[in-house]
Amino acid sequence: MSDLPASTEFLTPDECHEVDKALLTSRERFSARVAIYALRSLKQVAQQSGQVIADLSPEQIADWVANDPSLQSGMDSNFKDFFTQLTISAMRPLQRSAADGGVTVEKLTIPQVVAWFEKEAKLRLEKGL
């Protein structure tokens, strides 16, 4: 399927290390972590449904988040809704990252995602944002 492992952890130690070594602010690291979680999840949903990620519906993504074992502990309906929206919102940076890398979202790697966040952070810094 992919180079992303199925896991009961939000991110694997290797994924965390990849984000932590990046030159990003805390906010940017959070966004990168959510995007990596979303990438892993979206790849799994797409594989299970036989669809490409771009064709997944918000309902399919919401069902995945609601049933993801890494998010079950203490998860209430407000958190499910909030995290579903975060996961769906992660599609935009994933699509941009894929476009920058000349690949589909399905073919994105963790280093490509982190590199895109670093590039965007550098651009924002240069523009004084």
Q: Where are the domains of the chain?
A: 13-127
DSSP string for 23-91:
---HHHHHHHHHHHHHHHHHHHHHHHHT--GGG--HHHHHHHHHH-GGG-TT--HHHHHHHHHHHHHTH
pTM of the model: 0.80
Mean pLDDT of the chain: 85
Give residues with Cβ within 8 angstroms of 15, minimum separation 6. Answer: 33, 36, 110
Kindly indicate the confidence band of residue 6, based on its pLDDT and cuts at 50, 70 and 90: very low
Give 85-125 pLDDT, tens digit per residue. Answer: 988 999 999 999 999 999 999 999 999 999 999 999 999 88
The pLDDT, as a whole number, for residue 69 is 76
If you average pLDDT over residues 47-62, what whole number do you get? 91
Structural contact between residues 30 and 16, judged by C-beta atoms closer than 8 angstroms: no
